[in-house]
Amino acid sequence: MNGSPRPAASPPQDALLTATGICKHFGDFTANDDVSFSIGAGEIHALLGENGAGKSTFVKMVYGLLHPDSGMFEWRGAPVVIRNPQHARDLGIGMVFQHFSLFQALTVAENIALAMPPGESIESLSDRVRAMSSEYGIGVDPDARVHNLSVGEQQRVEIVRCLLQDPALLIMDEPTSVLTPQESEQLFGVLRRFAEAGVAILFISHKLEEIRSLTERATVLRRGQNVGTVESRKKTSKQLAEMMVGMAVGDIERREQGVGQPPAIFEISGLSRDRETQFSTPLRDISVVARAGEVLGIAGIAGNGQDEFMEALTGEWRAPSAAMITVDSHQIGTAGPARRRQFGIGFVPEERNGHAAVTSMTLADNALLTGHSLDNVVRRGVIERAQMMQMAGEIASEFDVRLPEDNPLASSLSGGNLQKFVVGREIIKRPRVFIVSQPTWGVDVGAALFIRRAMLELAAEGSAVIMISQDLEEIFAISHRIAVLYDGSLSEPVVAADVTPESIGLLMGGSHSMDEART
């Protein structure tokens, strides 16, 4: 244990939940090590930490999904053993998870009814939903079918469902990860009203600026230990990040492009794709150019065609005409993924487990999956295992992939380390075009900074980088130009310095044209 003094903000005088010396072990791994924590009624309190720092383990114990090996919880000043989620709800603890648990074909009221005690009619429940929605300005229609709702509206359904159980403590796990800035600000307004009504809110997020804006105190976990509770607004985002990673955090420096238009490397012309299932999004006449030395950011809310667009870029779905997609004037629209790699295109899909990497295979084998065309790895059809191992080692070394052993299974790596590996596997080959979807999804602040710097360095060397991301903070941090994908249509890219996150957020919601978004 770390014996250094922990910075502490003043604890609440009327603590609602207090945790003292909480420990949780999974075999030889310690997820929580002597964690102490308190939150008061009406307080909005952040829980911060890198992936694997112990946040999820801790809140799962608060919600009764796991049980501590040692230590004690107190609820309203009395010791308590939280047996299960139903017991947590009975106490007054509610949780809104990052991934929604809604049935798309059911109405809002029908979904909420599934989480409520039996006996209440749908009509009575609908009236309560309308009253709750009106009181807090949430805007939820109990008669709407979930598949017709935006991501932000679905999140409101989750919140209303939780609030109808009358919680005294509301736990929110990454609630803004799929929201526009406007939807996030609406959510913050609702949360502030809850706090004014006396509800305590435990807020988990990797977005440090929103932590500073919304919360009063922040508790930081690092490697399972509480390294400090501080007043959020008295710390900069950089200071919070450094508490999370335990070391100095440098700034990302995006090199601005010089005068004149860089040459086009990758071009899409009139790309359309029909709807293939009732849940897919058709692509509508997409045309865009990616230029040398730039990061082209593609913003958008999930479900607006990102998956379909990525499949078209990588060759998992082949265009009707080869001329629809070109790289350095070579027509590749009908080429598959392997052929596109031969033209110098590297890509990383959104889902790292099973799509970007095979978790049951070693890292060296995963490196071979996309590096088999290199002359020194496969010669005359024979795999050079020494070269394959060397390639995997070089990726791990250059991209700071922290390994539990030499050549481990991919499944043994944390999410952030596996993401650094699959990104590094592509970038180390110095592709002419690098296409990546959600590059830092679910990745902690340290790994996210590393990945973003690597993409900027690749662009600075003259490659074109196309980044599909729902994270506007990420889009603005490293993009030179930004386009918005909405309902399968792609807007005209604009220079990032000429627009604001708020204007791009409006476009993500489909409210106006790119010309109106310019500052």
DSSP code per residue over 59-76? HHHHTTSS--SEEEEEET
Element (H, E) at 396: helix 385-398
pLDDT of residue 139: 75
Per-residue tokens: 2 = 């770390």
**Which residue is it, tokens 């911060």?**
48
> What mean pLDDT do residues 195-211 have?
90
Q: What is the dihedral of CA 225, 230, 236, 241, to 10 degrees?
A: 10
Structure-model confidence comparison of residues 388 and 6, the more confident one:
388
> What mean pLDDT do residues 86-91 have?
92
Q: How far apart are CA 483 and CA 468, in angstroms?
A: 10
Q: How far apart are CA 99 and CA 151, in angstroms?
A: 11
pLDDT band at 208 (very low <50, low <70, confident <90, very high): confident
**Which residue is it, tokens 């080692």?**
393
Identify the burial level of 334 via C-beta atoms within 10 angstroms of its C-beta, where 0-12 means exposed, 13-18 middle and 19 or more buried: middle
52-61 pLDDT, tens digit each: 788 989 999 9
Element (H, E) at 392: helix 385-398
Per-residue tokens: 511 = 């409210």
* Listed range (96-100, 285-289, 426-430) with the worst mean pLDDT: 96-100
401-448 pLDDT, tens digit each: 888 788 899 988 877 789 999 999 999 999 999 999 999 876 777 788
Q: Hey, what CATH topology would domain 264-359+432-517 get?
A: Rossmann fold (3.40.50)
Do 460 and 355 touch, CB atoms closer than 8 A? Answer: no
Q: How far apart are CA 219 and CA 226, in angstroms?
A: 7
Do 432 and 343 touch, CB atoms closer than 8 A? Answer: yes
Do 470 and 302 touch, CB atoms closer than 8 A? Answer: yes
What's phi and psi for 234, nearest 5 deg?
Answer: -90, 0
pLDDT of residue 514: 55
Amino acid at 59: V
Do β-strands 481-486 and 225-231 pair in parallel, antiparallel, or remain unpaired? unpaired
Amino acid at 226: N
Mean pLDDT of the chain: 87
Estimate to the nearest angstrom the gap between the alpha carbon of 127 and the chain centroid.
34
Residues shown for the chain: 519
> What mean pLDDT do residues 223-241 have?
90
> What mean pLDDT do residues 84-100 have?
87
What strands lie across the sheet with 330-331, from one edge to the other? 283-291, 264-273, 325-327, 330-331
Do 397 and 309 touch, CB atoms closer than 8 A? Answer: no
Phi-psi region of 212 (alpha: psi -120 to 50; beta: other; left: phi over 0): alpha
154-198 pLDDT, tens digit each: 878 888 888 888 899 999 988 876 666 777 788 888 889 889 989
Q: How far apart are CA 348 and CA 13, in angstroms?
A: 49
Q: Hey, what CATH topology would domain 15-245 get?
A: Rossmann fold (3.40.50)
Could you report how far apart the first and last alpha carbons of the chain are, in Å? 51
List Cβ neighbours of 448 (8 Å cut-off, separation of 6 or more). Answer: 206, 416, 440, 474
Estimate to the nearest angstrom the gap between the alpha carbon of 220 and the chain centroid.
19
Buried b / exposed e across 247-282, counting CB within 10 Å, b at 16+? eebeeeebeebeeeeeeebbbbbebebeeeeeeebe
Q: How far apart are CA 128 and CA 72, in angstroms?
A: 36
Q: How far apart are CA 272 and CA 276, in angstroms?
A: 12
Eight-class DSSP state of 260: S
Identify the burial level of 11 via C-beta atoms within 10 angstroms of its C-beta, where 0-12 means exposed, 13-18 middle and 19 or more buried: middle
Per-residue tokens: 504 = 């791009």
Every domain of the chain with CATH number 3.40.50.300 lies at 15-245, 264-359+432-517
Amino acid at 60: K
